[in-house]
A = this chain, B = another copy of it.
């Protein structure tokens, strides 16, 4: 039977009576708040089909989802956008706990930014249950809330040894989540990791899947990951739990992006062969290749010793690190055994250390590997340093020119899957755009409300070019778009743009907001006498998208009408990808410059991934310049990162209202680089290190009449892991 249904009632009528060979077609148009359930007994020859009148023309919006039970069901052509699932799953391969899908397929379906509004309200976009299901040629992009994008569940016998196939999907950009729970694909959980999943993940494209440290978390046995491309994706493919998994023919292209990794080996009888890694910047647990140390007699949720790993014919070039025996410590004391590394081409991105060796590697047999660039931490007989001329082949990958080396590294016939082979042809794949620029430039004249009016009229990407003079702003400028405000480049001292504002905030970042300011002066004199004003703050509504704030050649002064007047306040459930401050001046401020410490519960949720400060002067600041907090004990995130260079800090943090007692507070920040700064008459900077492997350098600074940095370790015990070199301390009374 063919059913063309036009509304939910018609659908429900049809859905009740479906038998093998029936086709239900949803009419083109928007279907709001539609929770689709489909079940029934199709057959291999005559599946039950749910499809769209035209592919891409059926939009599921609002609170919608799809649940599939029964067998031989085929769903295609739907687009989920402008909404989110009211339950824990957008597409579920079960209709209810008792009706799991078998032999069913979802193909050519799009899920686009169909995320719960609250970043920490979790769900799965796809949850696969049952057996022998296929998910192929789908397009999943823009998951901004917590929870694995795609989960294969093994939580009952009916879902184990499942034979699922996940292929030719486009896993589009998943932004940095800023906490645990940002994996793109997970197969199994630690609870069920002793079971085999037998799932095939093939020819998928992972494009900028940056959610957290694991792109793929393989938590079950006997899976195959084959022919996938990982393009500029932060994190790694991790054999977290389960044995006997095969990873072959995959291509990892880091393109030099931070934290791009490759494959991390844990557990027994894993095979890693014929993979190609290039331009990977990751180190430690997200090295191009990581072989971990395990825990003797590991509990199910810890790390099983590597045993019987075969790692052969892989090409790793222009990458930063390979780590062997990673994570070795008192608990993880079981080094790899019965393993083999052979016929690999290994090349660093520099002549420095490529291969880190953190444990006993006598359990790994190295044969016939060549090191084409960089070096190993210790000489390894089976890794030979050799100058090799390499050229890029027609498949875009790099190979040795010498035919004698044809059997080394990845094979010549590796054909990375391309973007047009994955997902659907009728839905665009997102480009990597700078949020700023690309719009019009609008001239604005000084006066009362002139800026506000121009701001409201501006479109995403526009630049407001402010003529010299004074601007008074009587309402908060709410950013749901990327806007640049720029004054005239300072040629002469005369041409100055100054802005006063009469509300508690000058800007409020909302969903879609990005802000760039340059060549401006912002004055707090007209702000109301109220605690907690902030020049820029995030809205108190949830923000799904990460954002950027850039300040260049900006002066901010006289934020002093009441206490705690900040420059930038990042609130709960908001996430700045990057805050950049350069060539700027901050003076007479009763609060902080950057407050990014909204979490109280220590769930490990933070508010700014990168904070970069350079060539800036901070003077007479009551509270800490930056207060960045990342609590919790999980090791799932790369950030926060904090850099401050070539800046001057004078009379900062010394107010009685500054409860931290510090000029900068970095709590749980994973990367700290404070170099070449001058601190004068200021409170000490304070670094509290928690879990993970923070990289911390406080070097080449001058501290004048300023106490030494305070470094605290909450968990780690051992030799200091902070570089405090070449700082100069003096107690001379400054000018």
Q: Residues of A at under 8 Å CB distance from B?
A: 86-88, 96-97, 117-118, 120-122, 146-147, 180-181, 189, 448, 474-475, 502-504, 528-532, 539-542, 564, 571-573, 595, 597-604, 629, 632, 659
Complex interface: chain B residues within 8 A of A659 (CB): 602
Looking at the assembled complex, report how far the CB atom of A601 sits from the nearest CB atom of chain B, in whole angstroms.
6
Looking at the assembled complex, report how far the CB atom of A95 sits from the nearest CB atom of chain B, in whole angstroms.
12
Complex interface: chain B residues within 8 A of A597 (CB): 600
Complex interface: chain B residues within 8 A of A180 (CB): 531
7 interchain residue pairs of minimum CB distance: A118-B540, A532-B603, A540-B542, A531-B603, A87-B475, A86-B475, A572-B572
Contact of A528 among B88, B502, B601, B602 (CB under 8 A): B88
Can you report 13 residue pairs joining A to B where beta carbons are below 8 Å apart?
A: A87-B475, A87-B503, A88-B528, A97-B448, A118-B540, A121-B540, A122-B504, A146-B530, A531-B632, A532-B601, A540-B541, A564-B603, A602-B659
Contact of A601 among B573, B595, B599 (CB under 8 A): B595
- The winner among A529, A601, A603, A659 for most chain B CB atoms within 10 A is A601
Chain A facing B: main interface SS: loop
Complex interface: chain B residues within 8 A of A530 (CB): 122, 146-147, 181
Complex interface: chain B residues within 8 A of A531 (CB): 180, 603-604, 632
Apart from A87-B475, A572-B572: 5 A-B pairs, beta carbons within 8 A: A88-B528, A180-B531, A540-B542, A540-B573, A564-B601
* Residues B540 and A88 in contact, CB atoms below 8 Å apart: no
Complex interface: chain B residues within 8 A of A122 (CB): 504, 528, 530
Looking at the assembled complex, report how far the CB atom of A628 sits from the nearest CB atom of chain B, in whole angstroms.
12
User: How many copies of this chain?
Assistant: 2
- The winner among A97, A474, A600 for most chain B CB atoms within 10 A is A600
Looking at the assembled complex, report how far the CB atom of A630 sits from the nearest CB atom of chain B, in whole angstroms.
13
* Residues A448 and B189 in contact, CB atoms below 8 Å apart: no
Q: In the docked arrangement, what's the CA distance between A237 and B327, Å?
A: 65
Q: Which residue of B lies closest to A96 (CB)?
A: B448
Looking at the assembled complex, report how far the CB atom of A381 sits from the nearest CB atom of chain B, in whole angstroms.
45
Q: In the docked arrangement, what's the CA distance between A539 and B448, Å?
A: 37
Q: Which residue of B lies closest to A88 (CB)?
A: B503
Q: In the docked arrangement, what's the CA distance between A272 and B530, Å?
A: 31
Q: Which residue of B lies closest to A597 (CB)?
A: B600
Complex interface: chain B residues within 8 A of A504 (CB): 121-122
Complex interface: chain B residues within 8 A of A97 (CB): 448
Q: In the docked arrangement, what's the CA distance between A78 and B147, Å?
A: 48
Complex interface: chain B residues within 8 A of A600 (CB): 597-600, 629
Q: In the docked arrangement, what's the CA distance between A87 and B598, Å?
A: 26
Q: In the docked arrangement, what's the CA distance between A529 and B88, Å?
A: 12
Looking at the assembled complex, report how far the CB atom of A560 sits from the nearest CB atom of chain B, in whole angstroms.
14
Q: Which residue of B lies closest to A146 (CB)?
A: B530
Q: In the docked arrangement, what's the CA distance between A147 and B528, Å?
A: 10
Complex interface: chain B residues within 8 A of A598 (CB): 572, 600
Q: In the docked arrangement, what's the CA distance between A465 and B283, Å?
A: 58
* Residues A474 and B564 in contact, CB atoms below 8 Å apart: no
Looking at the assembled complex, report how far the CB atom of A39 sits from the nearest CB atom of chain B, in whole angstroms.
15
Complex interface: chain B residues within 8 A of A118 (CB): 539-540
Q: In the docked arrangement, what's the CA distance between A304 and B598, Å?
A: 39
Looking at the assembled complex, report how far the CB atom of A537 sits from the nearest CB atom of chain B, in whole angstroms.
10
Complex interface: chain B residues within 8 A of A572 (CB): 540, 571-572, 598
Contact of A541 among B542, B571, B601 (CB under 8 A): B542
Q: Which residue of B lies closest to A85 (CB)?
A: B475
